[in-house]
Amino acid sequence: MDNLKVTLPDGSVREVPRGTTPADIAKSISPRLADAVLVARLGEGSNAVEEGRLWDLSRPLEGDTKLSLLKPDDPDALYVQRHSAAHLLAAAVLELFPETKLGIGPPVENGFYYDFVRETPFSQDDLERIEAKMRELAAQNIANERKLLSKADALKMYTDWDQPFKRQLIEEKAADQMVSFYQSGKFIDFCLGPHVPHWGRLKAFKLMSIAGAYWKGQEGNPQMQRIYGTAWPTQKELDDYLNRLEEAKRRDHRKLGPELGLFSIEEQAGPGLIFWHPKGGLVRKLMEDWLRNELLRRGYDLVFTPHIMLLDLWKTSGHTGFYKESMFGPVEVEKAGYQLKPMNCPGHILIYKSRLRSYRELPVRLAELGTVYRYERSGVLHGLLRVRGFTQDDAHIFCRPDQIEGEIEDCVRFAWDTLKKFGFDDYVIELSDWDAAHPENYAGKPEDWHRATAALKNSMQRLNAPYKVIPGEAAFYGPKIDIKLIDAIGRPWQLTTVQFDFNLPPRFGLEYVGEDGARHQPLMVHRALWGSVERFFGVLIEHYAGAFPLWLAPVQVEVLPISEKNLDYAKQVEEKLKAAGFRVHLDDRNEKIQARIRDAQMQKVPYMAVVGAKEAEAGTVSVRERSKGDLGPRPLGQFVADLQSEAKN
Ligand SMILES: [Zn+2]
Ligand SMILES: [Zn+2]
């Protein structure tokens, strides 16, 4: 007989007749297991989704294989639940609005969507009705069955049904004679699968929003309505996710920025361009002061380079080739093209090159808070995080090979100190290496790559820093280390980069005179700690939910006289705090004290000093802290001393 060998994760091998399904194997192990699993994974390795190795429990195995039976909380099984939820969504839409035309419906991060064409826009009420219908269908435990149709039959079905987008997909995508479909009751979809055995296995889902989309994501194509949903293995995980979303919304820097007087984006000036308002400007000054002092302390030189430079420079650097799509178009002046700078590197290179360098003066570390402009499509712009004009905390290090490991270590230490200073304790480090199978796709010689990657690894080891290597993730010009910080609510943010460059030094003919008197090419490293001032500020706002620590708060103390009669003493308090170097605001508006306390609270001012007749007489202030509330009266001198000690830490 024709038997198959199935190897289970524990290494045991089962011989089963051809035609056996993963469900059969699960049942033969235990009925409990058979009830618990959702889908199977064939083979091994982490890319089962991409490689099409996920398998319906009811689909017969087709050859010898490794087999894992996946429970709902396995990430691959979760992916399948979300895909099945997308089908369930489409089925519910068709039940309620049978005339709807179907686009595509894939799983995505945290959930799924389905694209529809329908003349009437879906309303919020429709969304609720659709979700209720999804629950109704799920409660019927309708099975998801894989079916094969010939391409001709599939085309005929979609023609008769008048589903032009699906028809188009069959025409374009179905190479084989037989096309796979998934049928669930009345609903059928062109789909590679796999799916959960029946819709009753979807335990926790919710429709989230409606957005516009173009068919195939291309402008000019028919407009579709995209319904987004989220799906999780359990109700608890769904609730946790919804809470995280709420929390993220509460911290959204696009909302807090204007509320706290930090920044705005002005329609009249154009998208993706940031206006720093007085309070945001003050925070920026404090951030930059700290950074510039650290740069000088750590042996960097501060430079400034022009915002616009000859187009020819960007041809030499190669940016007009590989970076063209991200640059603003050139400007013509006196018949010469000029380019708004998308990067600071060529400017720093020109400073390095302005005279012959000796091995003795290396490393040269040039730092600039350099403002750059990049073309980002308006659709991807996002508050401070994705913008068209921003200021990088950029630096370029030119050094000898024997210096490189020390330089990398210093960069990583600098990054750590920066994260700590700004209140981040958690981070992950990723090392992006090249794809060794395709050296032709990269600048630099293989030995350059090996040496640079080894230097990165050695530095990480000496720093005792755990890191993950990601092969094939490097830019074409060199390997890099990225540090992603984890914010107060567990979200990762890509900020720090330390990046080798094997491309620019030869393009610009960079040199130094070695100890041997001969000319050598220096190593070049780009590095940014915050990434950009804008992006880092956005992350800070969300991390602190706008409540900056005392040293960064634009207003540190709000002085609040209880009534007009206490104004003189309030002014004395203000003067004393200012003299001690604090940023103070006296709120003498003609409003009730409770209303002014509430306003200071809303502005997330760290401390309020409330003063009335009692305080004036005793020489005290009644202290309120923004999160702890009323701390009671304190002698003014004591309050100043307490603030000083807190600001120092
Ligand atoms: Zn599908
Ligand atoms: Zn650079």
Tracing tokens 């819709």 back to the chain, one arrives at: 199
* Given 166, 198, 480, 535, the catalytic residue: 480
pLDDT tens digits, one per residue of 384-429: 999 999 999 999 999 999 999 999 999 999 999 999 999 999 999 9
pLDDT at 648: 85
Lowest mean pLDDT among 44-48, 245-249, 294-298, 397-401: 44-48
445 CA to middle of ligand 2, Å? Answer: 20
76 C-beta neighbours (distance < 10 Å), count: 20
H-only helix segments in 481-605: 504-508, 533-544, 567-579, 593-602
Helix (H) and strand (E) counts for the chain?
A: 20, 33
Task: Please count the other Cβ atoms lying within 10 Å of the Cβ belonging to residue 430.
Answer: 15
CA of 345 to the centre of ligand 2 (A): 4
- Please indicate whether residue 396 is annotated as part of the active site: yes
Predicted pLDDT of residue 612? 96
- pLDDT tops 80 at residue 175: no
Q: Give the type of residue at 370.
A: G
Asked about 526 being catalytic, the answer comes back as: yes
- Who has greater pLDDT, 492 or 559? 559
- What is the pLDDT at residue 129? 98
Question: Active-site residue 374, yes or no?
Answer: yes
Query: Which ligand sits closest to the CA of 80?
Result: 1
Question: Rounded to the nearest whole angstrom, what is the distance from the C-alpha of residue 527 to the centroid of ligand 2?
Answer: 7
Model pLDDT for residues 423-438, shown as the tens digit of each residue: 999 999 999 999 988 8
The alpha carbon of 191 and the centre of ligand 1 are apart by a number of angstroms equal to 4
Q: Ligand 2 center to residue 500 CA distance, Å? A: 9
Query: How remote is the CA of residue 123 from the centroid of ligand 1, in Å?
Result: 24
CA distances (Å), origin 605, targets 305, 526, 546, 554, 570: 37, 37, 10, 8, 17
Averaged confidence pLDDT in the chain: 95
Q: Which of 396, 457, 543, 624 is catalytic?
A: 396
Q: State in Å: Cα 183 to ligand 1 middle.
A: 10
Is the pLDDT reported for residue 603 higher than 60? yes
Contacts of residue 599, defined as CB under 8 A and 6 or more positions apart, other chains included, come to: 587, 591
Residue 44 has φ and ψ, to the nearest 5°, of -145, 170
Q: Which ligand is nearest to the CA of 498?
A: 2
pLDDT (average), residues 621-628: 96
Q: What are 62's two structure tokens?
A: 């087709």
pLDDT band at 46 (very low <50, low <70, confident <90, very high): confident
Question: In Å, how far are 437, 451, 470, 478, 523 from 446, measured between CA atoms?
Answer: 11, 9, 17, 11, 15
Question: Which tokens hold the place of 487?
Answer: 């914010």
Taking only the tens place, the pLDDT of each residue in 143-156 is: 999 999 999 999 99
DSSP string computed for 432-448? E---TT-GGGSSS-HHH
Q: Which residues contact 123 (CB under 8 A, 6 or more apart)?
A: none
**pLDDT tens, position by position, 336-382:** 999 999 999 999 999 999 999 999 999 999 999 999 999 999 889 99
Proximal ligand: closest to the CA of 345: 2
User: What gap in Å lies between CA 459 and CA 465, rounded to an integer?
Assistant: 9
Residue in 567, 609, 571, 610 with CA at minimum distance from that of residue 590: 567
- Band of residue 491 on the pLDDT scale cut at 50, 70, 90: confident
Catalytic residue of the set 226, 348, 526, 543: 526
pLDDT at 275 over 80: yes
Known catalytic residue at 394: yes
Kindly identify the ligand whose nearest atom is closest to the C-alpha of 341.
Answer: 2
Ranking 69-83, 450-464, 503-517, 594-608 by mean pLDDT, the lowest is: 450-464
| pLDDT at position 649 over 80 | no
Element spanning 468, H or E: strand 468-470
Q: Band of the pLDDT at 77, cuts 50, 70, 90? A: very high
**pLDDT of res. 1:** 57
Q: In this predicted structure, what is the pLDDT of residue 427? A: 92
Ligand 2 mean position to 417 CA, how many Å? 22
Quick check: is 392 catalytic? yes
Per-residue pLDDT for 174 more than 80? Answer: no
Q: What are the pLDDT digits (tens) for 222-231?
A: 999 999 999 9
Q: CA–CA distance from 40 to each of 46, 51, 178 (Å)?
A: 14, 14, 23
Average pLDDT of span 269-296: 97
